[in-house]
Amino acid sequence: MHEDPDRCYRAVASRDSRFDGRFVTAVKTTGIYCRPSCPAQTPKRENVTFYPSAAAAVAAGFRACKRCRPEAAPGSRDWDVRGDLAARALRAIAAGAIDGDGGVPELARSLNVSERHLHRILVAEVGAGPLALARTRRAQTARLLLDATELPIAEIAFTSGFASLRQFNDTVREHFGMTPREIRSRPSKHLASSGSLTLRLTFRQPYARDAMLGWLGLHLVAGIDELDGTTYRRVLPTGSVVDLQLGDDAVHLTTRIDDVRALPTIVARCRRMLDADADPVAVDATLAGDPVLAPLVRSRPGLRVPGAADGFELLAVTILAQQVSVAAARTFAHRLVEAYGKPLDAPIGTLTARFPSADVLADATYDGIGLTGGRVQTLRAAAAAYAAGDLPLDPSADRDEARGRLLALPGVGPWTADYVAMRALGDPDSFPGTDLVLKRKADGLQPERWRPWRSYAAMHLWIDHLTTTGALS
């Protein structure tokens, strides 16, 4: 996108929020970078440069605009379409892959490339190397904690991954043009006395909220998630509980956590669950070109693909759903949670436990769950492979490799592999073509025309079927 400066400038001149997160606009005369929809006076064309990422703009000496907060814009799903090295690396960095002890060397090893090659590829694609990208991510985490909590500034520095207070102060000033204390002094929402905090997660319009809520409600598993009007509540694999209130223009995330270091991961996980970084205009424009999908797109503009709170949990529940109804799968999953889930310290509403871990299910007897012997074998094999680290189920995984390893499991076929790729791996172009509903509805159509958004086409067809049959109100 940034390689077409005329198109970028047109987006800036029209303050088009659809492009927020896809590139940033750096203004030479002020030294700041903005999101395309910044409400400030449009700069002259000769005074702007466009960068593919905030990290690239910071590396070039620009700081974030205080008015439009470009670091808070929805992320870009351009990289989710791709499965190459740069895309996988960016998804891994966004998930915090180099915030641990292994750093860049471990990331390079996991991608089977040298550190030098990884750096070269990322600079070519997004204008910044892995360290610069991670540094920007840490700065954004620090800004989030400064705005949303009352933690001591020194604790925020180390929680965000900085090695020293000096490094923290310098980086925050470089990125935002303010010291941490100056950011803290600005109006914001802080931790309530109950220990909970609320954040505002933005998304691109339109957003088919009712369809998302309907899908979540249809797939609830008693004990780990519940739906109350427009608020979806669930237990995450870490044991944290999140409330996601889906508003007209944003999602309000409320969470109760003991360790705020988990906050960036929680935010990223919730954004994936609600597909908050999707580009609905690009998706809808492609799918509306099909005469069969066009009326569905008009009925539900901005339809999202629900992501997974946890890759293994999704795989396990999907295995339970093989060749049975959704209601039966939910019953089996609830029994698993009751029998093997780790209880919460105290129930929250109807939430009682976190979903069983792979370690536990690998050795479980499954007595009283009601599963066939074949289904038990599949669950045990999947759990053992995941627990051993042999089954990558996160958005940074090599999708072809992950799909191959899924298909190698006993009892896992193309439907399960494609569905998991769609929701756990975040593949926007996965199409479970063996699904009975999709086979019937896509008969005589050309799914290849829907690339690279076939996952969204599948959601349109499923939601239409569920609405027509009355399963989804």
What residues are labeled active site?
34, 435
HEC string for 422-461: HHCCCCCCCCCCCCHHHHHHCCCCCHHHHCCCHHHHHHHH
Instruction: Give the residue from 294, 290, 319, 304 showing the smallest Cα distance to 386.
Output: 319
Q: CB of 428 within 8 A of CB of 80?
A: yes
- Angle among Cα 285, 290, 295 to the nearest 5 degrees reads 80
Instruction: Give the residue from 278, 224, 219, 247 showing the smallest Cα distance to 21.
Output: 278
| DSSP β-bridge partners for residue 51 | 24
Q: β-strands 32-34, 63-64: how paired?
A: parallel
**C-alpha span between 18 and 436 (Å, rounded):** 35
DSSP 36: T
Instruction: Give the residue from 281, 348, 303 showing the smallest Cα distance to 472.
Output: 303
Which residue type occupies 138? R
